[in-house]
Amino acid sequence: MTQTAMQKAGDGDLRATEVTRGATNTPRVDILENDQELLLFADMPGVTQDQVDIRFEQGELTIHGHRGMVEPEQGYELREMMPGDFFRTFRISEQVDGQQIWAELKDGVLTLHLPKSEKAKPRKIAVKGA
């Protein structure tokens, strides 16, 4: 990931650019970059699309939501996915076109598409002969 695509702290650690707010759950994320966009994948098992609120304002992308209680037919043997709120905020540079961000939730994975602005996309330079 380029330093200009997502703001990095002085030590270059991407985790330093995001905030979690005392939430019960913190979804794990992977962030990939290609020539056209950044892709953020967040694990959200048991979360439905109406339980997620995503906002982008003033260069910050915020994912906030709630994982509800799942009641099995029988008792739990082990329980690690607790119900409750989750909250994460990432600082995103101006190289992302905030008006074109879109998200999808499928099979417990939230995928956020953060398209790069035209000025941030690589372009090929033609070489002319003399």
* Full pLDDT tens readout for the chain, 130 residues: 444 445 433 344 444 455 555 556 788 899 999 989 999 999 988 889 999 999 999 889 999 988 887 777 778 788 777 788 888 999 988 889 999 999 999 999 999 999 998 887 778 888 998 7
Burial class (CB in 10 A: 0-12, 13-18, 19+), 44: buried
Pair 107, 47: CB distance under 8 Å: no
pTM of the model: 0.72
**Domains, the chain, ordered by start:** 14-68+83-118 (2.60.40.790)
Contact between residue 119 and residue 93 where contact means Cβ atoms under 8 Å apart = no
Please give the Cα distance from 36 to 33 (Å, whole number).
Answer: 8
